[in-house]
Each structure stands twice: as C-alpha cells, then as structure tokens.
Structure 1
Amino acid sequence: MRTYLDFEKPIADLESRLEETKRLAQTSNVNVSEAVHVLEQSIDKLRQEIFQNLTRWQRVQLSRHPDRPYTLDYISLMCDQFIELHGDRTVRDDPAMVGGFCELGGQTVMVIGQQKGRNTKQRQQRNFGMANPEGYRKALRLMKLAEKFNKPIITLIDTPGAFPGLEAEERGQGEAIARNLKEMFMLTVPVICIIIGEGASGGALGIAIGDRVLMLENTWYSVISPESCSSILWRSWNFKEQAAEALKLTARDMQAAQLVDGIVDEPLGGAHNDHSEMASQLKTVILDTLAELNALDPQIRIEQRIEKFCNMGVVVE
C-alpha cells in the first residue's frame, strides 16, 4: 500500500476517488471513461503544482520517504554481477555500510553506500543506516582495493549521521571518518559521490570526497538535521521547518553554494514513485560522468579534487 506524506493528502484524495470510479466501472455497465480521464488529468496537474513549490522541510520529508529506493535497490537495478564484500579486517562487518564490485554499463566499478531497512527488523540490523567506525574502515578498505585494481568508485550516501553511541566513540568514530577524508583526496581512480537520501554531518562526509559530488533532486546535505538544529536553537523540535529554511540544505541550495557539482532529476512525485526510472536516470548520469573523469590523467584528477574542496566556503574579515 502506498504511503502518502502530509502535503500529498490532496493527491491521495483524488487517487482514492479515481479507484472508486474504476471499481464502479467493473461492477456495473456504466461508462466512466470520461470521468476517469478528468480525474487523471486533475491528479497530474495537482501533483505538478505541489512538487514545483516544495518547501525545504517537505524535501527533507521526501528524502526520508519509507518507499524511497536505498543503496541495495539502486545496485540491484543498475548493476550486473554484484559481489558484496564484508568486514573491515579489524573489528567486524557493519551492515549499515555495504559495498562491493559490480558491472555497470560494461565496466567494473566499486559501489559503496549506507543501507537503511524497510521494516523494524531490517532497521535494527542496519542500525537505521548509521555506520560505526568499522563501517567507515570497511568503506576505506574497499576503496583501496578498487584503487589497487584501477576501478572507479561510486558512493551512495543516505544516512541520518554516523552512529553516536559510546561504543562507536570508544572505537574511534572521529578518527575513522577523518582518515577517510584524507585518503579519499588521494585516490588515483575516479570517485563519484551521490546523495540519494539524507546526507547528515560527518556520517555522510565520510564517504563523500570525490571528483564529482551529485545530489538527487529531493535530498538534503547539511552539518545537522533540521530537528537537531531546532532542539539546539529553540530547545524544541517544533521549529524544524524554520530550521530547514535557515540551513539551506536542499540540492538547489547546495549547488548555488557550489558545494555539490550537479543535481539528478527525480520522477515527478519523487524517486519512490518509480524506482526503475530513477535508477535508469542515475545510471546514465554516472556513466556520462565516468566517461568524463576517465579521460583525465590521475594526477590532474587529484589536483582538481583537492582544489575543489579547498575553494569551498566564504571568509569574511
């Protein structure tokens, strides 16, 4: 059963009327084709009006939609012969961070990303997509493996943040993320980073240093979530919408601030409406970007990568 967000309720009402009209046609001899056509046009028009004027908080809600495709969904739809690799060779395997070699458009690539769960059991297993230090160390191990065999790296980012538990801090959460930042700058192979859902804080940044950083249309990327920002500034989560506006965390905001390199359009209504179309569009963008990056000398790629991140930010004296 499809899940509707609060601002999608008008669409839900019309779609409910459409289903009732279609059922009427099945149970009687009444010709309802004209009524069906009118309702379908009304739904399309309403959906366009709503999704052309989304607030920042509404885009945050879309990024968390329970039906939205996750990392393993994209891998399944885009890639052939995926071989998942496990473990950081130090502590354990972190199910919140997945990765492995696969064939993408006829070439072998390393795909790494955070994975959330669809139901309660999976969410507990995947720790809601919040990686521990061993998750980031596994990611780095796989990146180094890809570099050894001269294979491009694709990272898919979707996390509410790195796991903030005591045991994660004891095992060096900050050090693990910091090491990833340092090492990713110096990778000799092409690196493409894509925010496919939530991109929160260092948890996202730990696998987001690349030659190209892209965002899906209805995603967010920020140092803090709107709820956490609201709780710090207003001592309440009730101001999360105002916080989202102040943070300027959407894909358009990030591109305007030159913090990301591009935006990948989603199907009307969001990526959750059509997984196959979204994966097909993302695959095309990845292959086009890889062709561009593969043409560059590795040392030039590294220099451009470093320069891009060093140029970020504004200094006011």
Structure 2
Amino acid sequence: MEYLDFEMPIKDLEDQLAKCHDIGKESEIDVTETCSKIEKKLEKAKKDIYKNLTPWQRVQLSRHPNRPYTLDYIKAICGDTFMELHGDRNVRDDKAMIGGLGKIGNQSFMFIGQQKGYNTKTRQYRNFGMANPEGYRKALRLMKMAEKFGIPVVTLLDTPGAYPGLEAEERGQGEAIARNIFEMTRLKTPIITIVIGEGASGGALGIGVGDRVYMMENTWYTVISPESCSSILWRSWEFKEQAAAALKLTGDDMKKLKLIDGIITEPVGGAHANRQGAFEAVQEQILKAFDELKDLDEVSLISKRMDKYANMGVYKE
C-alpha cells in the first residue's frame, strides 16, 4: 500500500497497530486494550484527514496508484458478463479507450471509458489513459450500436486529457471529440456518466455528455490540469495547489455550479483503500440513475438532455 504525504499519520498508526498485533501473537501479553486504543486513534485520524481535504489533495487521490481504473469497475460490477469490443473500423483499436457490453443483474449496458496502466509496460500500452482520435471514434461506434439495440450507455471518465501528439492532430483529434459531443447530445438512449478519477479537458468531455453526470468524491473535472494551469499563469508548476483551488474542480464545486447531478461518496480513506466499497457505490448509482431514465421516451430524453446543457453557465445578452 502506497501513502501520499498527507496520509503519513495514517501509515504510522497502521504500523503501530500491526506491531501491537504481532506482539500479542508472539508473547503471552494481553494487548487487546492497547490495540483497541490505536484502532480508535486510527479511525479518528482517517475521519479528520479525509473530511478536510484541499482541492489539490483530492487531485492527488484521483491519481493514487492503487486507485481502481475503468476495467476494475466494469469487471467488479459485471463479472463474467462483460464482453469487450474493439476497433473504430477505420484506423485501429485504441487501447486507451475501452468499451463493451456487460450486465448488471438482467439489464444490459454499454460500458465505455478511458483505461490507464498499472506499471510502466501497461501504462505505455494504454498510452497513459490518453485516447487518440480512433479511441473517440470507437466510443462513438459503440454508442451508436447501443442506440440501435436500445441499450443504455455508461461512460467512466479517467484521463489526464486527449493525446496531444502531432499524429493525433493529423488524424483529427479535435473533430473526433467535437463529433462525439454533438452525437451524444442527441443519442436516443440513456447516458450515465461517472468521473472515477481524472476528468481533464476535452479528453474527458469527449465521452462526458450524459443525462446524469456524477463525480466520485475524490476526483476532479475541469478544462485543464492544475499543473498546466500553473505553468501558463505563473510559468512554473510550483503553484499547482493555488491553481487547483482556483479552478473549482472538485465535486462540491461542480455541484454548486450545477454542472453535475451528484457526488458518489467514497469509503473512508478513498476508493484505493476500499475498492469493493467503491465498486458497490458506483453500481448503486448506475442502477439508481437508470431507474430514473428508463421510462422516458426518446423525444423526452433528448429534450431534457438538450435543456440540461443549454441551461448551464451564466451569461448576459
């Protein structure tokens, strides 16, 4: 288990608790009371730390190396029913964007999301979760397939942004993202979107237009990463914490601005500390959102989605 800087008090208490249990096993000393005191301190420390997180600390948690990724959620929620589908039928199969059919209970869903890697080799294989144009075109192909068969779409967002390479721009990165946004606004099937990690820029928005949009508690969703914002405004990455606060990128900020529909509460300690708890929370939210959308006819569904996005923001004519 890896710990972030602000999580070190938790690590110290967990180490103390482990040593206390070891002493009890190796000797005849009764350490029950001592272990109980440490457990209470540990529980209090977790509550105090995680209820007072800064925006930058939430950004750090969204990138935690032990945090579950898109395929982890899909496999946990769907089990053996998930069938991954590949290719954009034009260029190639983008490994940074995954999608396929899966079931929750008896209900089929089309799952689409960005996938990161777990080590150096898989990170390169998944291009660090940064999709190319063919990734967005694959996503759109799968959405259109879901529309054809009346299957609801679930998109899981976790990307530092769309791939910014020259070859991606040559193959139409901007057009692919814009096309997805346009097509998703009028897709004739329910779309449920959940930010499970990083939600950066158009890379996230390319699969982020939904009837219901949710953010997990320790995630972020904004037009630019704090580091990039800092480098533009201050010509240095040193001001990333100030940038994170100024960007209003947390779930609480987004909810106040009425840009998302809700926040999914994570287990104490974050999704990386209790993966099963996170999986259950996401599954519950998907089913709840689908229950709200399933009885809407196509015209009402698209109309409500259009109105939702048309009413965002504040402007003066």
TM-score by shorter chain over 0.5: yes
**Which deviates more from structure 2 when the two are superposed, residues 116-125 or residues 25-34?**
25-34
Taking structure 2 as the reference length, the TM-score comes to 0.98
**CA deviations over 1:93-131 (Å, ceiling 9, x no partner):** 000000000111211110000000111100000001000
Tell me the CA shift for residue 157 of structure 1.
Answer: 0.3
1:273 match: secondary structure? coil
The equivalent of 2:207 in structure 1 is 207
The equivalent of 2:4 in structure 1 is 5
The equivalent of 2:22 in structure 1 is 23
1:259 match: secondary structure? coil
Alignment of 1:31-70 (within 5 A): 31-70=30-69
Distance 1:142 1:236 in 2: 40
Is this contact kept in 2: 1:105–1:287, CA < 8 A?
no
Tell me the CA shift for residue 29 of structure 1.
Answer: 1.1
2:93 match: secondary structure? coil
Q: What count of residue pairs does the alignment treat as equivalent?
A: 316
2:264 corresponds to 1:264: yes
The equivalent of 1:183 in structure 2 is 183
Distance 2:98 2:211 in 1: 21
One-letter amino acid of the counterpart of residue 4, structure 1: Y
Is this contact kept in 2: 1:94–1:132, CA < 8 A?
yes
Distance 2:127 2:307 in 1: 35
Distance 1:60 1:298 in 2: 37
**CA deviations over 1:141-179 (Å, ceiling 9, x no partner):** 000000111100000000000000000000000000000
Is this contact kept in 2: 1:218–1:266, CA < 8 A?
yes
Distance 1:245 1:199 in 2: 16
One-letter amino acid of the counterpart of residue 203, structure 1: G
**CA deviations over 1:51-107 (Å, ceiling 9, x no partner):** 110000000000001111100000111014111000000000000000000111211
One-letter amino acid of the counterpart of residue 54, structure 1: L
2:249 corresponds to 1:249: yes
Distance 2:281 2:131 in 1: 27
Distance 1:64 1:246 in 2: 19
2:150 corresponds to 1:150: yes
Distance 2:224 2:142 in 1: 27
Distance 1:105 1:292 in 2: 17
One-letter amino acid of the counterpart of residue 243, structure 2: A
Gaps of 5+ in 1: none
Distance 2:104 2:136 in 1: 23
Aligned alpha-carbon RMSD (Å):
0.8
Moved over 4 A (4+): none
Taking structure 1 as the reference length, the TM-score comes to 0.98
2:196 corresponds to 1:196: yes
Distance 1:173 1:306 in 2: 24
**CA deviations over 1:212-263 (Å, ceiling 9, x no partner):** 1110011000000000000000000000000001001000100000000111
Percentage of identical aligned residues = 62
Distance 2:227 2:218 in 1: 18
Gaps of 5+ in 2: none
One-letter amino acid of the counterpart of residue 188, structure 1: K
One-letter amino acid of the counterpart of residue 296, structure 1: L
One-letter amino acid of the counterpart of residue 20, structure 1: K
2:118 match: secondary structure? coil
One-letter amino acid of the counterpart of residue 303, structure 1: S
Alignment of 1:38-187 (within 5 A): 38-80=37-79, 81-187=81-187
2:296 corresponds to 1:293: no
2:126 match: secondary structure? helix
Distance 2:281 2:165 in 1: 37
Is this contact kept in 2: 1:231–1:237, CA < 8 A?
yes
One-letter amino acid of the counterpart of residue 277, structure 1: G
The equivalent of 1:216 in structure 2 is 216
Tell me the CA shift for residue 316 of structure 1.
Answer: 4.8
Is this contact kept in 2: 1:112–1:154, CA < 8 A?
yes
Distance 1:76 1:42 in 2: 35
Distance 2:278 2:246 in 1: 29
